[in-house]
Amino acid sequence: VQSWRETMEINVEAVRANAVEAAQRMIKAGKGGSIINLASILSFGVGRSNGAYSVSKAAVMQLTKVFGFEFARYGIRANALAPGYFSTEMNADWLAGGGAEMMKHIPMRRFGNEGELDGALLLLAAPRAGSYITGVTYAV
């Protein structure tokens, strides 16, 4: 129960609080803006032995939809990135072990590298290129 609560606090409540704070500042400035939340490929499905994580990231996806709707009237867009399996320091041990098996199920047969999120991030952040995109979660 404790790890469930901690996961929800970190992955849902912190995202909610940060997005609301950012929106309040943007509203006060009167210039609109873009909020980008970090979801996960597991926002769309479930992985083994990480139910709380999957639920929390699905909640981020839903929060993003709500924020996209609620903040639009202030010229604020809210979207999320949902990275698939990317190589990071945090998952290095897993990738070295069971991750090799997972790679067989990834269409590109490899894990993503952090620079490969740049294009989607720039699209969502750009005031012109992404100006009509809100409430969307992009899987990368």
87 confidence band (pLDDT: 50, 70, 90): confident
Provide the β-strand partners of residue 81.
Answer: 38, 138
Asked whether residue 100 carries a pLDDT value surpassing 90, the answer given is no
What global pTM score does this model have? 0.90
Asked whether residue 98 carries a pLDDT value surpassing 80, the answer given is no
Give me the number of domains the chain comprises: 1
Lookup: tokens for 37: 């939340």
Structural domain of 71? 2-139
Asked whether residue 31 carries a pLDDT value surpassing 90, the answer given is yes
The reported pLDDT for the residue numbered 16 is 99
Catalytic residue among 53, 74, 85, 138: 53
7 confidence band (pLDDT: 50, 70, 90): very high
- Region 52-74: mean pLDDT is 98
CA distances from 80 to 23, 75, 137 (A): 15, 17, 4
Please tell me the chain's helix, strand, coil percentages from 3-state DSSP, rounded to the nearest 5. Answer: 55, 15, 30
The reported pLDDT for the residue numbered 33 is 98
Question: Is residue 53 annotated as part of the catalytic site, yes or no?
Answer: yes
- Region 77-95: mean pLDDT is 89
Look up the CATH number of the domain holding residue 66.
Answer: 3.40.50.720
CA distances from 58 to 39, 75, 129 (A): 7, 25, 26
The reported pLDDT for the residue numbered 85 is 86
Q: Report helix, strand or coil for 36.
A: strand
92 confidence band (pLDDT: 50, 70, 90): confident
